Amino acid sequence: MSARPRAPARLARGVAALARLGAAIRRARAFHPRGEVFDAVLTVAEPQSHGVPLLDQPGEHPALVRMSKATSTPGGLPDVLGLAVRIEDAGGEGVPLDLALATTGGSPVLRHLLVPRRDFAARYGSLLPYRVGTRRLILAAVADPARRIPADLAALTDAVAAEPLAFRIVVAALTGPWQPVATLVLTAPRHDAEDPCFDVTAHALHRFHPHGRLNRLRGPAYRASQRARANR
């Protein structure tokens, strides 16, 4: 079951128009236009009590991951980096969950701000809260601090082909401490994969979905950008 929050009509139309214009001008996504796609596995190791079966029940879940640079700076120059995840069958057969994370800080202030990075083995956060069970939480994916992968898409593909890239999936209250809930491991590049379209509002779960007024604008923006690219 997906959860798609509604946004005020006038504001939603304005955001959608900007996303449509950006996608039309770039002839691609308005942001994160180029990325690399990877096979991945999300693993929940221990029983938990979040009120979400995906996180509460131990198991492995096939996933698809797209990593990208927001403005496509050349080579390994710093950029806001993106990590988008599709967990297949997260809510049961045929019910996926999409997550869209970008490089942020970890402190109570910086976890709500985009932070440019020069290393794909970084910290990626949701910026805005999710409703997880009955709580409002920030999500993050944190790479091993000892790993180094330049912010260059070709270098990223080579690095994952040589050694899987692992992230700890953690959650926190808006200003609280981080709590580990799962691991996400990028196992191999998907050279034959089409560039997937992620939508965190359409591909959400009843008790695990973006929460709050600002998050309600994401659905119209995603769909406007997708329509612009489809009509290109």
pLDDT band at 24 (very low <50, low <70, confident <90, very high): very low
Look at the chain and count its residues: 232
pLDDT band at 75 (very low <50, low <70, confident <90, very high): confident
Mean per-residue pLDDT of the chain:
84
- 15-24, 25-34, 170-179 — which one is most confidently predicted on average? 170-179
How much is the pTM?
0.81
What are the residues facing 125 on neighbouring strands? Answer: 102, 140
Strand blocks (E) in the chain: 35-44, 59-69, 81-87, 97-103, 123-125, 130-132, 135-143, 165-172, 179-189, 208-210
Per-residue pLDDT of 103-153, as tens digits, reads 999 899 899 899 999 999 999 999 889 999 999 999 999 999 999 999 999
Cβ(42)–Cβ(63) below 8 Å: yes
* Domain locations in the chain as residue ranges: 32-211
Cβ(101)–Cβ(82) below 8 Å: yes
Q: What is the CA radius of gyration of the chain?
A: 17
CATH of range 32-211; options 3.50.50.60, 3.30.365.10, 2.40.180.10, 3.40.718.10 = 2.40.180.10
pLDDT band at 231 (very low <50, low <70, confident <90, very high): low
